[in-house]
Amino acid sequence: MAASTVISSTANPRFKEARKLQRRRGRSTRKRLLIEGLRLVRYAWESGAELETVFYVPEQVASAPPAAALIDELARAGVTLMACTPAVFATLAETLSPQGIAAVTRLPHLPLPEQVDFVLVLDGLRDPGNAGTLMRTAEAAGVDLVIFGPETVDAFNDKVLRAGMGAHFRLPLRSVDEWAAVAEYTQGCAHYVAAAEADLAYDAVDWTQPAALIVGSEAEGARPAARASATPVAIPMVGRTESLNAAVAGAVILFEAARQRRRASQVAGAAAAR
Its pTM stands at 0.92
Collapse the DSSP code of 18 into the 3-class scheme (helix H, G, I; strand E, B; otherwise coil) and give the result. helix
pLDDT at residue 3 is higher than 70: no
Residues with Cβ within 8 Å of 269's Cβ and at least 6 positions away in sequence, in order, are none
**Residue 85, domain extent:** 6-106
pLDDT at residue 112 is higher than 70: yes
Helix axes 65-76, 38-46, angle to 10 degrees: 40
Percent of the chain with pLDDT over 70: 99
pLDDT 10s digits, 146-163? 999 999 999 999 999 999
DSSP letter for each residue of 226-272: HHHTSEEEE----SS-----HHHHHHHHHHHHHHHHHHHHHHHHHHH
- Give the model's pLDDT for residue 92: 92
Residue type for position 141: A
- Give the model's pLDDT for residue 56: 96
Average pLDDT, the chain: 94
- Give the model's pLDDT for residue 51: 96
Same domain, residue pair 91 and 227: no
Residue type for position 34: L
- Give the model's pLDDT for residue 239: 79
- Give the model's pLDDT for residue 96: 83
CA distance 252 to 219: 19
Residue that finishes a domain, picked among 106, 140, 156: 106
- Give the model's pLDDT for residue 139: 98
Same domain, residue pair 150 and 246: yes
Same domain, residue pair 65 and 181: no
Dmax (CA) for the chain in angstroms is 69
Alpha carbon separation from 141 to 12, 77, 176, 220 (Å, rounded): 43, 33, 22, 25
Tell me the CATH number at 94: 3.30.1330.30
Strand order of the β-sheet with 211-215 is 173-175, 145-148, 118-122, 211-215, 190-194, 231-234, 200-201
pLDDT at residue 4 is higher than 70: no
Tell me the CATH number at 140: 3.40.1280.10
Same domain, residue pair 256 and 132: yes
pLDDT at residue 203 is higher than 60: yes
Asked whether 34 and 18 are in contact (CB, 8 A), the reply is yes
pLDDT at residue 186 is higher than 90: yes
pLDDT 10s digits, 39-55? 999 999 999 999 999 99
Q: How confident is the model at residue 29 (pLDDT cuts 50, 70, 90)?
A: very high
91 in a structural domain: yes
1 in a structural domain: no
